[in-house]
Amino acid sequence: MRTFYIVALNQLKRTLRMRRVLINMFLLPLIVISLLGTALGSVNDMGGAEDAKIDPVTLALVKSEDSPLLDGYLSDEGVARYLNVVEVPDRQRAQENLRTGEADYALIAAPGFDRAVVSGRAASLELIRGSSHSENRVAENVLRPFIDALNDRSAAAKLLGPQALQTYEQLPAALAQVQDGVLGAEGGSYTAFQYYAASMLVMFMMYSGLSLSGSLHGERENRTLQRMYAMPIRPIHLFAGKVAAAGAVAGLQSLNIILISKWGFGVDWGGRPWMLAAVCLLMIVFTMGMAITVTFLTTTQPQSASIMQGLIVAMTFLSGGYVPFEGWIQKIGNFTVNRWASESILRMMLHEPAGHIGASIAILALISALLLALALTVYGRKGYAYE
């Protein structure tokens, strides 16, 4: 074991003396967090200490006659907060407004709309979407209670007869399904600085595997491994010492990012330091496993570096580490380790219950354990030899 400690301490000193390591692993993450947090704060900021605000959506309304039902619903205070209604003469004008950006959404009522609703006959409303997905969602969520109420009246009239309409003397009051609010169980929400601090912490910790891969390849390519094995050194002690040194560098790196971002940028990492430490430890395990697997499955240092950098960038991108995604890319991101590590940290920042955080950490632990098992299997078959 004495050989293990000597190798680990010597490798740690050598790594920390390298200027490029200090810049790329300790200084660069903080610069990236500062730049992204400042430049994209207005885009990705989740509200900080204030509630997130939703701007009103301009609704182009087309109706051929007065409609007390529509006017009554759209003039409700809860609805008017989110829909800015502008009446237009016909459907063509409404479509032109959508194309030019004068309107965000369009609602067209068929002639005799109110009479059809009151008599229980089929009443027609046409909804036309605009170019903005988020504004379409806001408009549809606000209009949904009104449309659901119409469907209820129509279904009751068809099934029970016109007498059933007596129970629908008036449509229900507007029930806003869009609300300004904040994330988190305690009313907190993460800022752009917090978001990118979490994602960059995860990404740059994985870069620490490059130093391990470079050290393992370097000993073989420089022929120093042959001379080491000429001495009474067990290969497992030499290999384990290098892995331990790289893991220690990753631990110092994570501590540096957490403390400097907390004191310098005001990043709140949550109130569960032991869970945060567990996430960092699991990321170290994953990173070392990835580095070992790639190193022993390749023959040169440039090959290993290219594969690892490609994996790191791809996983960070797919997990939303640069820009949050929705849809199919987000589903692919669920298979990356970055997704679960970042989610665990963000849940801590939002002060969510420990059970929610633990679920994400459990998935992260499973991924790390599987990759570690793969790394040990590859090492057992290949071995750290100079041939």
Instruction: Note whether residue 172 is domain-resident.
Output: no
224 and 313 in a single domain? The answer is yes
238 and 196 in a single domain? The answer is yes
Q: What is the C-alpha to C-alpha distance for residues 48 and 263, in angstroms, rounded to an integer?
A: 17
Alpha-helical segments (H) within the chain:
2-16, 19-21, 28-39, 41-44, 68-74, 77-80, 91-100, 113-119, 133-160, 192-221, 224-229, 235-265, 273-296, 301-318, 328-333, 337-349, 354-382
Q: Is the model's pLDDT at 103 over the cut of 60?
A: yes
Is the alpha carbon torsion for 349, 352, 354, 359 positive or negative? negative
Instruction: Note whether residue 108 is domain-resident.
Output: yes
67 and 27 in a single domain? The answer is no
Residue-level pLDDT at 18: 87
Residue-level pLDDT at 183: 44
Boundaries of domain holding 134? 57-167
44 and 71 in a single domain? The answer is no
pTM of the model as a whole: 0.65
- The answer to whether residues 193 and 260 touch, using CB atoms and an 8 Å cutoff, is no
Q: How does pLDDT run across 59-91, given as a tens digit for each residue?
A: 999 988 888 878 888 888 888 888 999 999 898
Q: How does pLDDT run across 280-328, given as a tens digit for each residue?
A: 999 999 999 999 999 999 988 899 999 999 999 999 999 988 888 777 8
9 and 107 in a single domain? The answer is no
- The answer to whether residues 364 and 337 touch, using CB atoms and an 8 Å cutoff, is yes
228 and 306 in a single domain? The answer is yes
Residue-level pLDDT at 245: 94
Instruction: Note whether residue 387 is domain-resident.
Output: no
Residue-level pLDDT at 244: 94
Q: How does pLDDT run across 113-161, given as a tens digit for each residue?
A: 777 776 767 777 889 998 887 788 888 888 888 887 777 766 666 666 5
12 and 62 in a single domain? The answer is no
134 and 32 in a single domain? The answer is no
* Arithmetic mean of pLDDT over the chain: 83
Of the residues 137, 167, 197, which one is the last residue of a structural domain? 167
The rounded percent of the chain whose pLDDT value lies above 90 is 38
199 and 68 in a single domain? The answer is no
Instruction: Note whether residue 181 is domain-resident.
Output: no
Q: Is the model's pLDDT at 17 over the cut of 60?
A: yes
Q: Is the model's pLDDT at 181 over the cut of 80?
A: no
- The answer to whether residues 169 and 203 touch, using CB atoms and an 8 Å cutoff, is no
Instruction: Note whether residue 203 is domain-resident.
Output: yes
| Residue 242 DSSP one-character state | H
127's tokens: 């909804």
44 and 75 in a single domain? The answer is no
39 and 80 in a single domain? The answer is no
| Residue 350 DSSP one-character state | T
Domain containing 72 — which CATH number? 3.40.1710.10
- Number of domains comprising the chain: 2
Residue-level pLDDT at 201: 95
Instruction: Note whether residue 239 is domain-resident.
Output: yes
Q: Is the model's pLDDT at 28 over the cut of 80?
A: yes
Write down the residue that tokens 């007596």 correspond to: 166
Residue-level pLDDT at 313: 94
Query: Helices 354-382 & 337-349, crossing angle to 10 degrees?
Result: 150
Enumerate residues 6+ apart whose C-beta is below 8 A from 128: 94, 95, 98, 105, 106, 107, 108
Of the residues 167, 199, 233, which one is the last residue of a structural domain? 167
Q: What is the C-alpha to C-alpha distance for residues 31 and 53, in angstroms, rounded to an integer?
A: 29
Instruction: Note whether residue 147 is domain-resident.
Output: yes
277 and 132 in a single domain? The answer is no
Of the residues 120, 135, 167, which one is the last residue of a structural domain? 167
Instruction: Note whether residue 151 is domain-resident.
Output: yes
